[in-house]
């Protein structure tokens, strides 16, 4: 009977360890993106949004240039670079 009591304690301890590990994941992810943002010069939500939107426009411009268009991709590329420049300044 004593083995059952010991296994219950081990299961409780294991549950606490797993719970503690899982509780530490969201702050670690937040700290990771905060570090990347500070390294890139991006500090707020609006800056992150501008950076991501600028990257998307730049990639769209590259795809458009590969497709043979000229004017549209150049405009999208210029707007994308301007957004990314604004985000990191």
Banded pLDDT at 5 (limits 50, 70, 90): low
Which stretches does DSSP call E strand in 4-78? none
Residue 13 structure tokens: 């301890």
> At how many degrees (to 10) do helices 45-67 and 25-40 cross?
70
Q: pLDDT digits over 24-75, tens only?
A: 999 999 899 888 888 888 888 898 899 899 999 999 999 999 999 899 999 9
Banded pLDDT at 1 (limits 50, 70, 90): very low
Is residue 84 over pLDDT 80?
yes
Whole-angstrom distance, CA of residue 84 vs CA of residue 26: 27
């Amino acid at each position: 009977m004593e083995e059952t009591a010991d296994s219950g304690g081990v299961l409780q301890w294991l549950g606490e360890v797993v719970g503690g590990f899982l509780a530490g994941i969201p702050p670690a992810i937040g700290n990771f993106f905060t570090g990347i943002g500070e390294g890139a010069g991006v500090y707020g939500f609006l800056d992150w949004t501008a950076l991501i939107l600028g990257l998307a426009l730049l990639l769209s411009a590259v795809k458009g240039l590969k497709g043979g268009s000229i004017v549209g991709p150049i405009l999208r590329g210029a707007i994308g670079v301007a957004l990314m420049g604004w985000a990191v300044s």
